[in-house]
Structure 1
Amino acid sequence: MEQNQDSDRRAADQKFQESLEQLEDILQKKSPEESKKAKLADTTEIDLAEFEDAVADIEAYFDQKEKE
């Protein structure tokens, strides 16, 4: 029975490794330019009001630090 389990585990490991190689091939086919565009698209959805609030918080923090 242990031989069957070992054999099953080896077969599962081999299939898993093949799947990882396929995934790696797919990911490497993506050009660096496509990756940059994807990152840029993600960052352009910043809410201006939230950004302004964050800047105001940072300015208030530095003002407080200067007073101490």
Structure 2
Amino acid sequence: MNDDTTHKNITDDQLAPAENWSVWRQGDDGNRFLIEAGLSEEVAKRKVAEFESHGHKQLYWATQSR
């Protein structure tokens, strides 16, 4: 017998690998560049904070791939 109460609804985010974060940079000229991919959320955000702490004028951010 199949008991539906034992099944959990799993979202796409839960199925995605944990190491699907990327770090990006946008220069003063508006061009965007991938710095590194295949990171965990924690590592990606730490790298962004590291780059931002150097005081460069570029914009850095972390994004999750699906």
TM-score normalised to structure 2 length = 0.31
TM-score normalised to structure 1 length = 0.31
| Higher share of residues assigned strand | 2
| Higher share of residues assigned helix | 1
Structure with the larger RCO, 1 or 2 (CA within 8 Å, 6+ apart): 2
